[in-house]
Structure 1
Amino acid sequence: MISGFRRIAGLTTISRVLGMVRDAAFAHFFGADWLMTAWAMGFKIPNLARRLFGEGAASASFIPIYSEKLIEDKAEAQTLACTMVTVIVALLSVVVLIGEVVVWTWYAFFETREGVRLGLALCGIMMPYMVLICCVAILSGILQVHRRFSAPAAAPIVLNLCIIAGTILAGTLLDMPPEKQVFFVAVTVLFAGVAQIALQVPSLRASGVRLRPAWHIHMPAFHRVFVLMGPMILGLTVTQLNTLLDDLIALAFMTQEGDPLPYGAPSFLYYAQRLYQFPLGVLGISLATAIFPKMSDEAGRRDFEALKTTISQGLRVVLFVALPATVGIFLVARPLVSAIFEHGRFTAKDTPVVAWTLCFYALGLCGYFAQQICARAYYAVQDSSTPAKSALLAVGINLVLNLSLIWVLGVAGLAAATAICSYVQVVFLIRGLRRRFGAGLLMGFKKTCVGTCCCSMVMACVGWGLIWALRGLPETFLFQCVRLAVIVPVSAGVYMAMARAMHLEELSLLTARRGQ
């Protein structure tokens, strides 16, 4: 489990760093005004599909059934895999075709603002990426069951490299105007999708998987996958759905004078979301992805004591890594936003808004991380209805909180609502898991909580001391990087040293050698 987590986390770190480079390029060439808002709108639907399927329901519903079939009948497992890929491609091709008709009809016949029209055009160009990334998701699920984590984890690296190359090429060598740059970058997204599929092929061959078109839609295993998938789309990706709701409300409440949100609010949210999703992807989703095949295998063998232990360890490790990540974001939010984004069309007046919003998103990191573990625990035992119910509850509460908090906190109110809802969902899910597996599910959690809080408080004190010591440095790009280079490693080192001194088991789990 831990070796798989390390591999996924390492590749995800590379991907997220490249994502920061990508967003820095966006900030330089597109800024935080209508151009970036148009890109955020245009990429929202294909990106949501990537999160729903690439990090969500397609692989989560497929992995438990495929794992079970590999044990029972390898030939049937192969047939299931082929049918899943064929059906997903066929269904989503129809969805994309309908979406293209709607988008281009709206673009052609309805009067909209310039930024909205550009966003519609970009959405139309990038919508076919939905088919490509969902195909990647199924292929990744197959590879994860065969304990091959590298190619699936490397797929987002390909996407980021293509977008970075497209952005820099369009803005420098081709010297395109900004309005044409975004169209060029949109085309590179489609190229990236094809490259992501190609990346999975060698690992599939090495695993002995031979895919071909198949349409065995009447096989019981296929029906079970699709029965699980619907509720999983809602249950596993509620954080992404809540951030989408944030974006829609930001767009709706910035259009008229007197609205509570500033113009460009979707852009501010976009940049803040990119930063808080860095630790979520590197740590939270990576850990959940690594242990999900193990949970599915234990559930398939009906070894529920082992499954309970795996869930417990996962939740404790989540707290151990998420709480210091939250503290770290609070310590470096301002210099982090400034160093990455504050250049080109992104100005100094945009930095405090994004940093403030980022801090409120960070308050929910423990909840976001725990969601990933808890939801997959249900999916391992093929229960997709409970996470779906919790997601409906969270989305409803998020809507009410969004419409309330924007009048008090502005853009940051949208982030605060999402953070609060993450804990509501986790409480709901953990109560259900304890009823299913017993109170021992949280065995050792109190010790982890106390130890992690103590270590994080010491880390925070050291971090704030460093901020005070460096307060006289100019707020230029170079010195913001100096702040980050001092505060981040020293604070992280203090946290790790404290954890080692307190003999926290979670540190041992993360640093254990392979096979231990």
Structure 2
Amino acid sequence: MSLVKKFATVGGATLGSRVFGFVRETFMAALLGTGPVADAFNTAFRLPNTFRRLFAEGAFNSAFVPLFAKEIEARGMDGARRFAEEVFGVLFTMLLLLTIAMELAMPFIVRELIAPGFADDPAKFASTVTFATIMFPYLACMSLGAMMAGMLNSLHRYFAAAIAPVFLNFILIGVLAFAWYSGHDAIAVGYGLSWGVMAAGLVQFAIVWFAVRNAGMRIGFRRPRLTANVKRLLVLALPAAITGGITQINLLINTNIASGKAGAVSSLVYADRIYQLPLGVVGIAVATVLLPELARALRAGNLNEASNLQNRSVEFTLFLTLPAAAALLVMSEPIVRLLFERGRFSPESTVIVGQILAIYGLGLPAFVLIKAFIPGFFAREDTRTPMIFAAISVAVNVSLALTLFPSLGASGIAIAEIAAGWANALLLFSTLVWRGHWGRDIPLLTRIPRLVAAAAIMALALHHAIGWLAFPLSSAASLPMRAATVCGLVLAAMAIYFALAFGLGGASLGMIRRNLRRRAAAPQSAAGEGPDAS
């Protein structure tokens, strides 16, 4: 299968999850706006979600899946089942103890670690503690579910693990729709969402649990013991936890800082949801597909193929993300107004979220390029260098966020995030070049400035069109008029960009045709990757 087709396959799965997550955020914006309950829920949800991404999806899966697959090969299904039961017993016990400890310490954690700025607002602080207490068991469900999903992927059963995460959005959308229909107040919506998250965790775990049983793997509970296999799992998981932890700790720090201003946490979340659409579709697809392809080429000693894979991936990401970045920069406010401005989401909130989204647009190419550069290290079994660069980017982010937040609010945190992203991208790229791991590619070097020029001209045309269409894009216009105008602008911008990209030589039919026809020798390894539905 061609590289572009693989990108499209994984990106399509991610897009479906992102769209449902976006629908969820649209309902939340209407019911909660950027008010205190929205801040409380988003902050409380960040805690189990951070642990989930850190342990369940990152460190645990990267260590458990290879060992489980190895047990299947060496000792058959019975040996793999015994190993899974050993891990399940230890994991369940650890999660139970962690959940009890976090539930008891939740007021301290919220006050001192996550949202110290909420301490001055007793109602918001109490809501955050309550919501986090209700939702935290979601972590245990998702961690155990990640183990089941890893087993399913090793057994070549992909559907259940891929579909399960979407149920979080289904359930929360149902909660929000019922609250909208019933006219519930904000605090009732917050409670409903918190219990919905808890229910979604149970549903997702049940789906993968029954799928594992149907696959012929019945897991029983064993007394937790640190066997040799379990110790090996912990040794392998630790480096991955450190690497993944850097990014997740960075998110918690930004939430900590943003809690000092009312509405800042929610404003960042709403802007991030829109920005995650192009980032998730392009960036995650590239990262998922490129790593196994690059590793295969390097194992075969085919350095020319490895270089071509990296350059074509960068070419593909820039071809799609430069226009998206330019569009977010110049038309962020009309997009936010169309998608969120209703109910409790005020015109003032639109301005703030629009400013943050425009700033995120400037960082979009950096974050997508990071996902294209990192496989160049991982495929060579170098996880230490990206970890160091991630730590440097966190230092840049925290120092800038602390400096800019007092004067710029949530926009200052967004500026810090994109500055850190560009620093990380430049460090990764320069190191690949310095080590001789990035081949010089004349077609790529000539196409990049032309793609930048095409995106810049498109942005200029959009800017003038938005000024001319001020009324149809304003709050005074009807929703159908705003939707038609925004869709028309997007279609016109796409036509302008693609015409310029091909006309200036930034892209060519030959380039697209080569990528579509390019066949990889290895089977597609990304089929088992499930999208992040959070």
User: Could you tell me which residue of structure 1 aligns to residue 526 of structure 2?
Assistant: none
Distance 1:80 1:298 in 2: 32
CA RMSD of aligned residues (A): 3.7
Distance 2:511 2:374 in 1: 21
Distance 1:368 1:44 in 2: 21
Kept after mapping to 1: 8 A contact 2:145/2:209? no
Q: Where do 1:189-268 residues align within 5 Å?
A: 189-200=197-208, 217-219=227-229, 222-223=233-234, 225-234=236-245, 238=247, 240-252=248-260, 254=261, 263-268=262-267
Q: 1:331 to 1:72 in 2, by over 3 A?
A: farther
2:138 counterpart (129, 142, 146): 129
Query: Are 1:11 and 2:13 counterparts?
Result: yes
Partner amino acid, structure 1, of 2:205: I
Kept after mapping to 1: 8 A contact 2:331/2:463? no
User: Could you tell me which residue of structure 1 aligns to residue 414 of structure 2?
Assistant: 415
Q: 1:244 to 1:304 in 2, by over 3 A?
A: farther
For structure 1, which segment, 219-228 or 366-375, has the greater mean C-alpha deviation from structure 2 after superposition?
Answer: 219-228
Kept after mapping to 2: 8 A contact 1:166/1:188? yes
Measured after TM superposition, the shift of residue 481 of structure 1 is 1.2
User: Could you tell me which residue of structure 2 aligns to residue 426 of structure 1?
Assistant: 425
So what's the TM-score if we normalise by structure 2?
Answer: 0.81
For structure 1, which segment, 138-147 or 407-416, has the greater mean C-alpha deviation from structure 2 after superposition?
Answer: 138-147
Distance 1:351 1:131 in 2: 36
Partner amino acid, structure 2, of 1:195: V
2:489 counterpart (487, 490, 498): 487
User: Could you tell me which residue of structure 1 aligns to residue 401 of structure 2?
Assistant: 402
Q: Kindly provide the CA deviation profile for residues 308-339 of structure 1, in whole angstroms up to 9, marking residues without a partner as x.
A: 54444333322222222211212331111111
For structure 1, which segment, 378-387 or 502-511, has the greater mean C-alpha deviation from structure 2 after superposition?
Answer: 502-511
Partner secondary structure for residue 473 of structure 1: coil
Measured after TM superposition, the shift of residue 17 of structure 1 is 1.8
Q: 1:322 to 1:145 in 2, by over 3 A?
A: farther
2:95 counterpart (87, 92, 106): 92
For structure 1, which segment, 361-370 or 65-74, has the greater mean C-alpha deviation from structure 2 after superposition?
Answer: 65-74
Q: Which has the bigger relative contact order, CA under 8 A and spacing at least 6?
A: 2
Measured after TM superposition, the shift of residue 162 of structure 1 is 0.9
User: Could you tell me which residue of structure 1 aligns to residue 174 of structure 2?
Assistant: 165
User: Could you tell me which residue of structure 1 aligns to residue 465 of structure 2?
Assistant: 466
Partner amino acid, structure 2, of 1:15: S
Q: Kindly provide the CA deviation profile for residues 427-456 of structure 1, in whole angstroms up to 9, marking residues without a partner as x.
A: 222333345553417675423422421332
Identity %: 25
Query: Are 1:41 and 2:52 counterparts?
Result: no
Q: 1:311 to 1:99 in 2, by over 3 A?
A: farther
Q: 1:94 to 1:302 in 2, by over 3 A?
A: farther
Distance 2:316 2:70 in 1: 27
Residue correspondences, number: 502
Q: Where do 1:71-90 residues align within 5 Å?
A: 87-90=90-93
Q: 1:483 to 1:357 in 2, by over 3 A?
A: same
Q: 1:511 to 1:140 in 2, by over 3 A?
A: farther
User: Could you tell me which residue of structure 2 aligns to residue 101 of structure 1?
Assistant: 104
Q: 1:245 to 1:171 in 2, by over 3 A?
A: same
Partner amino acid, structure 2, of 1:30: L
User: Could you tell me which residue of structure 2 aligns to residue 283 of structure 1?
Assistant: 282
For structure 1, which segment, 359-368 or 495-504, has the greater mean C-alpha deviation from structure 2 after superposition?
Answer: 495-504
Partner secondary structure for residue 347 of structure 2: coil
Q: Kindly provide the CA deviation profile for residues 311-368 of structure 1, in whole angstroms up to 9, marking residues without a partner as x.
A: 4433332222222221121233111111121111111111111100111122111121
User: Could you tell me which residue of structure 2 aligns to residue 259 of structure 1?
Assistant: none
Partner secondary structure for residue 24 of structure 2: helix
Measured after TM superposition, the shift of residue 20 of structure 1 is 1.9
Measured after TM superposition, the shift of residue 291 of structure 1 is 3.4
User: Could you tell me which residue of structure 2 aligns to residue 257 of structure 1?
Assistant: none
Kept after mapping to 1: 8 A contact 2:90/2:226? no
Q: Where do 1:143-182 residues align within 5 Å?
A: 151-173=160-182, 175-182=183-190
So what's the TM-score if we normalise by structure 1?
Answer: 0.83
Measured after TM superposition, the shift of residue 4 of structure 1 is 4.0
5+ residue gaps in structure 2? 112-118, 522-534
User: Could you tell me which residue of structure 2 aligns to residue 185 of structure 1?
Assistant: 193
Distance 2:65 2:450 in 1: 34
For structure 1, which segment, 68-77 or 39-48, has the greater mean C-alpha deviation from structure 2 after superposition?
Answer: 68-77
Partner secondary structure for residue 350 of structure 1: helix
Partner amino acid, structure 1, of 2:394: V
2:27 counterpart (25, 28, 31): 25
Q: Kindly provide the CA deviation profile for residues 72-110 of structure 1, in whole angstroms up to 9, marking residues without a partner as x.
A: 8876777766665654444333322211110167799x9
Distance 1:121 1:223 in 2: 32
Distance 1:471 1:208 in 2: 61
Distance 2:446 2:64 in 1: 35
Measured after TM superposition, the shift of residue 40 of structure 1 is 1.3
